[in-house]
Amino acid sequence: MSRPNPTVLFGFFVAVIVAMCGVSLMKGGLYLGKHEGDTLHLMQIILRMADGQWPHLDFMTPIGVLAVAPISVFVTLGYGAGMAIILSQLLVAAVLLPAIWWTAYSRMRGVAPYLFGLFVIVMVTALVSGGPSTELSISMHYNRWAWAISFIVIALTFIPSKLPPRPGLDGFLIGVMMAALLLVKMTYFVSFALPVVVGMLARRNFSMFLIALLSGLAVMLAISLTAGFDIWQAYLRDLLSVMVSDIRSNPSGSFGDTIAGPSQITSSVALLLAVVLLRNAGEAVGGILLLLLVPGFFYVTYQNFGNDPQWLLILGVILLCVTPEQGLKNAFGWNLRTAVKINAAIALAVVTPSFVNMAFSPVRHYFLDVELYAQLLPNDAKHTDINVVIKRAYQVNAAIALDGEGTALASFAEHSERNEPVILNGEIFPHCEVQSGFSVWFDAIVSDLDQAGLADGKRIFAADLFSSHWMFGPLLPLKGGAPWYYGGVPGIESADYVLVPICAVIPDFSRQALEAIYEAGITLNEVRRTPLYVLLEPNFEGASIAKESAQN
């Protein structure tokens, strides 16, 4: 196959970036159709970082600093959050462009380099994370970014260079990209570190390995000098806190379903068959490396909401780049060159719906009707450019139990699989779960607190999934708090109040937060009660956690 023209290849990649981000920016804001709760979680981190706070040091999160830093940079420069998110994707794509180009040009021939760059750029710049739903969402953008970075690293490691060796450049890119994975989402780094290291050593690229190691350490040193060396201990603490927690250990299907479920079995068979075919073709190192990638592919997919097997994109590219010589057959008489190409086609065909969904998301974004959308933060004068569809912003729906105590169906409650109820100071709350309308729900609670004189300059620990209240009024964010609840009582020592929703986003998290408060020896004294919430003042006397000053 012919070597791609380097200028044409680079121009093609630039055109894809311009098309994806240009169409996204033309709307003048970001308009989302789902996952507004996740977006509120992301907004908390964006605004905290734009205010100079560091993840892990100033608030708890298992997500790395580079997952949000590109967005917070644009907010700091004065952009609203909606445009900042889109511009951040343009920035990430531009930063990755040289690595994308070099990887495609040095490793691939024929159509493969163009497909590779297209896949990586679309992963970075899409306005949905894949899957079958066409509703736009910025949720899990860091998963897309991490996949894109992983594709570059895997291609550099797995596919032999077709140019004279450049161990310095290749090692530098691998080291920097692996450090980026560490600083975006640890799951990807852990899943792919071993195959990447083995890949370099198995191909006897020792100088490449050394340069990669030094480059990665240099990035970590730069972060340490900027944020302080304590950031690594804090990052590890946050990760361990999430690992030992039984909250959201997996956001979607079980690990078994991720591998062999009805929607995943074709992907898994294609992956395992690829390992066998490469081994049959005498690609000993390639077969081993692909086998080492199998657990990582499965585990990352299991950890990501929706269990979308995005790794099929890089699998298809790899198989197009390592096709065996013509005429080579296995013990069954299969033409291995043809078999590998067919397997590549199957992998790409299976993932095509998800990829097309991502690729066309900016176009759908451009043609949507803005009259059907409302501000995510209703009273915010700066971030007016991030919006959610009205029916999800203002239509507050909740799921309630019809078999609760005193109801006509109470006799059936013992057969349900519902979790234990929320218990506040001995009071049992009826099961109620808020499912939509988060913006007006938060706004109504904070407005009531403000009118009661209980909001200005105060910090609140919310016993629920996320605590976005401070973005809706004069409250302050909790020092050391967790924008997304993973267990325990992070940041409660700086809280002026504990807020328990009458109807929680996830009642089981509300229950676990209250249990953690009681286990810490903190008592709660009721201050205010409304149909939406109960506000309590924490008493730290005799508790295992000392009260911290809430002053700026």
Q: Please state, rounded to an integer, the average pLDDT across all residues of the chain.
A: 93
168 pLDDT band, cuts 50/70/90, is very high
Q: Which of 388, 494, 500, 369 is nearest to 438 (CA)?
A: 388
Q: Residue 385: is its pLDDT beyond 50? A: yes
Same domain membership, residue 202 and residue 68: yes
- Asked if 436 contacts 395 with a C-beta cutoff of 8 angstroms, the reply is yes
Same domain membership, residue 210 and residue 279: no
Buried residues in 144-158 as b, exposed as e (16+ CB within 10 A): bbbbbbbbbbbbbbb
Residue 295 has which token pair? 């657990």
The single-letter DSSP state of residue 32 is: E
Same domain membership, residue 165 and residue 32: yes
Same domain membership, residue 234 and residue 295: no
Same domain membership, residue 188 and residue 217: yes
DSSP 251-310: SSS-HHHHHHSTTTHHHHHHHHHHHHHHHHTT-HHHHHHHHHHHHHHHHHHHHSTT---T
Q: Residue 551: is its pLDDT beyond 50? A: no
284 pLDDT band, cuts 50/70/90, is confident
Place of tokens 């508790």: 543
Q: Residue 531: is its pLDDT beyond 80? A: yes
| More confident site: 486 or 214 | 214
| Helix (H/G/I), strand (E/B), else coil: 420 | coil
Percent of the chain with pLDDT over 70: 98
| More confident site: 172 or 258 | 172
CA distance 375 to 439: 8
316 domain-assigned? yes
The single-letter DSSP state of residue 329 is: B
| Listed residues 247, 269, 286: the one ending a domain | 247
The pTM of the full predicted model, rounded to 2 decimals, is 0.95
The predicted pLDDT at position 550 comes to 46
The predicted pLDDT at position 366 comes to 96
Q: Residue 508: is its pLDDT beyond 90? A: yes
- Asked if 114 contacts 4 with a C-beta cutoff of 8 angstroms, the reply is yes
Same domain membership, residue 297 and residue 203: no
Same domain membership, residue 270 and residue 207: no
139 domain-assigned? yes
252 pLDDT band, cuts 50/70/90, is low
Q: Residue 552: is its pLDDT beyond 70? A: no
293 pLDDT band, cuts 50/70/90, is very high
Contacts of 89 (CB under 8 A, 6+ apart): 20, 21, 24, 124, 125, 141
Same domain membership, residue 334 and residue 261: yes
DSSP alpha helix (H) spans, 109-185: 112-125, 141-158, 167-184
CA distance 40 to 313: 30
552 domain-assigned? no
Same domain membership, residue 123 and residue 203: yes
Q: What are phi and psi of 387, to 5 degrees?
A: -130, 160
The predicted pLDDT at position 105 comes to 97
Q: What is the 3-state secondary structure (H, E, C) of 190-246?
A: HHHHHHHHHHHHHCCCHHHHHHHHHHHHHHHHHHHHHHCCHHHHHHHHHHHHHHHCC
Residue 210 has which token pair? 């050394």
The predicted pLDDT at position 256 comes to 86
Q: Which domain holds residue 488?
A: 394-539
| Listed residues 212, 247, 282: the one ending a domain | 247
> % helix / strand / coil in the chain, to the nearest 5?
55, 10, 35
List, for residues 222-238, the tens digit of each pLDDT value.
999 999 999 999 999 99
Q: Residue 365: is its pLDDT beyond 90? A: yes
| More confident site: 511 or 416 | 511
List, for residues 28-82, the tens digit of each pLDDT value.
999 999 999 999 999 999 999 999 999 999 999 999 999 999 999 999 999 999 9
377 domain-assigned? no
379 domain-assigned? no
Across 95-99, 135-139, 547-551, least confident range: 547-551
Q: Which of 462, 444, 471, 468 is nearest to 509 (CA)?
A: 462
372 domain-assigned? no
The predicted pLDDT at position 420 comes to 87
Across 1-10, 179-188, 542-551, least confident range: 542-551
400 domain-assigned? yes
List, for residues 73-86, the tens digit of each pLDDT value.
999 999 999 999 99
1 pLDDT band, cuts 50/70/90, is low
Span 213-223, average pLDDT: 97
Same domain membership, residue 254 and residue 223: no
The predicted pLDDT at position 383 comes to 95
| Listed residues 247, 262, 278: the one ending a domain | 247
546 domain-assigned? no
The predicted pLDDT at position 285 comes to 85
Same domain membership, residue 59 and residue 208: yes
The predicted pLDDT at position 183 comes to 97
Same domain membership, residue 113 and residue 80: yes
Percent of the chain with pLDDT over 90: 80
The number of distinct structural domains making up the chain is 3
